Structure 1
Amino acid sequence: MSTSTADPVLQPLSRSRFDAVDYLNDVLPTVTLSSQAQSGKIARTGQLQTASTDLQASLSKINAHNIRTSSDLTVLTDEILRSGNRLAYEVEILRGDVNSFYDLLTDTLKDDIRLFVREEVLSSSAEKDGADAESLPGTQPQQEPAFITQLRRLTQVKERLEAVVNLFGEAMKWPVPPSELGSSLITVSAPELGGIQTTDGDDKARDATKKIRVEIQDLLDSDGGGTAGLEAASRRVEEYRQLAGLWKGTSEEKVRIRFVEGLQRLVDDRKRNLEARGISERSRTGSPHRTASAQGRPARHDGGGLFRNLARLKDDLYLD
């Protein structure tokens, strides 16, 4: 409550139903009329003076309150006039933003929004609208925008680049000992290389190839040395075989192919062992004839492996 309305004389002014006559009757003292002439005249004079004083005091308070109220009203009116222009300007800006947003949704982004709207929503809205169903977006098959096709193409290019980077990264982890590379270029009549000393490159390359052999052996021994480990090792050897194709037509091709064939022999040996183990397990419940035929198979494989090793040794003696 303000200081102007805190005065009990001014409180009635804030009422919704204000009557000036009732207000003056309440504020001013009552004047009594006496029947005696002399005494009544003196009493009326005193009452009139008191009423005049009270009336002047009330009028002064009302006048001061009126001045303050008029000043507040003037300030509020000025603020309303100033804020009215600013409010009108902000309303115009908001209206322009709404119109721009509407145009953006209905024209510019119409095709883009159509890509993300589900067909179920479109079909349900088409049933509600009835005759307007044909004009709804998405009811007819639309062609993919050009940027979607370009994004797919870029994604494929990115995947291929990552595959190439990974492929060359694997190739960098598989060095070839320089001594083996030089020995592959020597003919049958060349002298012995026993006096050639190994270099740091040979040591690093042999460590790398040793790690690869350990990797294949670990895959073979995984899953208890069963079929799952054999399949994983076969896939890894095939990856190394494809990796060796990067050096096709170079002097390193033969060395790398020979190394991959050595890894393949490890896989083939484990495969023969698993086959022999399976045959022996089946022979426990089978006939003696089946047992004899099962025991004869590894001998044929071993003989074939011996001839393959001799043929590979003969090929290593010639140039690439």
Structure 2
Amino acid sequence: MPTATAPPNPHLTDSTLHPFTTPTFSPIDYLNITLPKPTSTTTLSTTASQTQTHISTLAAQTTRLSDTLTTLTDDILRTSSRLAYEVELLRGEALSLADTLSSRGSLHPQILHFVPNGLDSILSPPEEKEHEETEKPTSPITASPNSLPEPPSLPRLRTLLHVRTQLQRCISAFNLALTLPFPPSLLSPTANPLASPEAEAQEAKGQAALARIKQEILDLIADTEGRGGGIERARERVRELRELMGVWRGTGEERARGRWVEGLEGMVDEEERRRERRVFGGQGQGRKEGSAVRGFGGLEPEVRSGTPGFLRRLREEIYMD
């Protein structure tokens, strides 16, 4: 039996949305494949213009899909009350028809001419089936998947929601990458940040962005908000930055940015080790101080009792010296 294929979603006919419908979609891989590759023949302004055009296209698709989802949701909410009203009407008519055809209805004498035993004997289950049903344990009635087919609109709504979520993830990853410029001095040791005003501005902007991220990690470690678990939250933030660095995978900035993230990871690890040493060192110092107090306390009774033992040992030590 051939399986019926679902009709294509009319809202996803644009070819730019096809990558977002795959289950294995990754925003970072999508950006690496879609964005133009920087080469020696292309200028930075051309690459930025092409990238901005692509992002504008994705933003327009996101707006269109959001409007479509809003419209469909409004239609569902608007028609749900009317649908419930019609279901109640049909239920009342069905109950009225069943009561009319039963032995209590007005049509029962006429029905007996065609069905001598009446419709109740036909509609009611046999006694044997009733006996079998009473022996079976009660369980909730569940309809098989084939008895209640899923409306064709629900898969389309799920697909639209999935595409919208992937678009938002992609745009969010790209926006985060834009907020993290890198100073040219860290990308190349031979770069001169003071070669031109533009290079100097890029250097200052990159250093400010890195200082802001580093200060954020330090604030998380210090737990300035008093939420607790500062080390864990700082490590989670560094892990997010590590994942974001995948945007530059395969580019000339990948290694330099990776070393910078490794430096943040080392800073968090060093702070964790320092706290562990502080805890264990405090316990060892407490044990040493306790031993010294106990040793001095053992001498006090002998001194206070006035016995000559202490003076004798002191005199012997003086003579030995």
Please indicate the TM-score interval, normalised by the length of the shorter structure.
0.3 to 0.5
TM-score normalized with structure 2 length = 0.41
Larger Rg: 1
Higher helix share: 1
- Which one has more relative contact order, counting CA pairs under 8 Å at least 6 apart? 2
